[in-house]
Amino acid sequence: MAALDNLVQQGDVEAALLRPLTDSEKTYLPTLITQADSLLRARIPDIDDRITAFNNSAARGIDPAVVTAVLAGAIARFLRNPDGATSISRGIGPYSTTRSYSGSTQGPSPSAVGALEITDDDVAAILPKPMFSPGRTIKTRPRHRHGWPL
């Protein structure tokens, strides 16, 4: 099946940010949408088929509204923190600012700087949860009155 176009739109990103985009952000948004779509399709190669399956009431389908929300959240996350800092602290007194980056003690890690990312949590939010539960062990002998096994 041919890829569906634009799984997320400008209005979805603005809703995730809870504000309108600036003129600068609007300039970069088409590229960010293309990147987010491509990254998600790389992580879930059959996503277009699964969205179509959802629209046709199939069991293994993926809700397109969930996909849109997750992609809008990923783009908003990038717009809020484009350099990938994991911690930022600011001081008012002596005018100090500290930025921490994951995996690096001297500046941002190369994978985090300017990189829009689709995380494992994003993928987990999109994929339907399994309908079965894992097996459990049933203990058939009684426990000792103090909680110790016999």
Tokens representing residue 71 in the block? 């992609």
Q: What is the pLDDT of residues 66-98, one digit of tens each?
A: 999 999 999 999 999 888 777 888 888 878 888
Q: What residues contact 1, with CB distance under 8 A and at least 6 apart?
A: 48, 49, 52
> What is the model's pLDDT at position 114?
60
Task: Categorize the per-residue pLDDT at 8 as very low, low, confident or very high, splitting at 50, 70 and 90.
Answer: very high
Task: Categorize the per-residue pLDDT at 99 as very low, low, confident or very high, splitting at 50, 70 and 90.
Answer: confident
Alpha helices in 1-150 (DSSP H): 10-17, 23-43, 47-55, 64-80, 120-126
Would you say residue 106 has pLDDT above 50?
Answer: no
Name the residue ranges covered by the structural domains of the chain.
Answer: 10-83+114-126
> What is the model's pLDDT at position 134?
65
Is pTM beyond 0.85 here? no
Task: Categorize the per-residue pLDDT at 39 as very low, low, confident or very high, splitting at 50, 70 and 90.
Answer: very high
